[in-house]
Amino acid sequence: MQKKYGFQRLSRLLGNPRLLVFTLIVGLFLASSITPASAHSWAKYHWARTANPFTLQVKDNHTNLGTDWSSILALVASDPGANDWTDSAVLDLNVVNGTSTSSCDYIAGKVIACNGLYGNNGWLGIAQLNAYVKGHIIQGRVKMNDTYFNTTRYNDAYAKRHVECQEVGHILGLGHHKGLAGCMDDKNGLFDAAYQFPSAHDYETLASIYGHTDSSTTLTALASLSSPNVQKPDDDFGTPTGEPDGKGRPTLFEKDLGHGIKQLTRVVWAD
């Protein structure tokens, strides 16, 4: 006689049908609430390297006029006493002194951090990177817009840390998330102390992104970046590619630079 393993059969095997129903409900709830680490990576973008942990140099070009952006950068990047990006098991950020000017030109294999009075263009901060179409990041920069941060509304320590932390996270290959109490949340927490540093989920995502090694590295200057239109930073963000913020504004842009390289821009908008 053919065996029947329907709901009644299973419930008899487990001894209590109500227990079976409860177990199934709890299991479905837990499965739906688990967020895979890879869910909040920035597509496939990452720095190519041959071993972990790797060191990425961040050149501090902050002018520190009005805001001590250098201290904020150190706090979110590599401060031994803070919950920062260097707490990741797969990477270290080495912040070095830059030119202390508003210059924000890319340097191959490095990240440039800068600030300036960029005008009432709508954004608080941006993260831009150049990457090969296959996903390897070549160079990156973060920019803080003092036009807004010098105003009463945005001259706030938590807001400044939130934006700087988020833009650095993007340069590492992270996308946005929501509701996980960390600086990569683009819809909550701008003025909240709980959203000014990376979250445990961000570290898990970095471990997933850099869970492999590459046969080559993009952490050094590359001879193939000699073309001026590749090395010059570009304030034309290009084409919006989705991911709107809470007000429907695009937060991600792409632009083809030729030579198999794209410029990608993440934007934190002002209210």
pLDDT tens, 243-263? Answer: 788 788 999 999 999 989 999
Phi and psi angles of residue 243, each rounded to the nearest 5 degrees, phi first: 50, 65
Instruction: Report CA dihedral (19, 35, 55, 168) to the nearest 10 degrees.
Output: -140
Indicate if the pLDDT at residue 158 is higher than 80. Answer: yes
Among 173, 171, 135, 133, CA closest to 259? 133
What's the pLDDT at 236? 84
Among 111, 138, 121, 114, CA closest to 225? 138
The model's pLDDT over 39-85, given as tens digits with 9 standing for 90+, comes to 689 889 999 999 999 999 999 999 988 899 999 999 999 887 778 99
Indicate if the pLDDT at residue 202 is higher than 60. Answer: yes
Q: What burial letters (b/e) apply to 53-75, b meaning 16+ CB within 10 Å? A: ebebebbbbbbeeebebbebbbb
| Spacing of C-alpha 102 from chain mean position | 23
The model's pLDDT over 203-219, given as tens digits with 9 standing for 90+, comes to 999 999 999 999 999 99
Specify the DSSP class assigned to residue 191.
T
Which of these ranges, 93-102, 156-165, 224-233, has the smallest mean pLDDT?
Answer: 224-233
Token code pair at residue 249 = 């504004």
Indicate if the pLDDT at residue 25 is higher than 90. Answer: no
The model's pLDDT over 95-140, given as tens digits with 9 standing for 90+, comes to 999 876 667 899 999 999 999 999 999 999 999 999 998 899 999 9
Q: How confident is the model at residue 15 (pLDDT cuts 50, 70, 90)?
A: low
Average pLDDT, the chain: 83
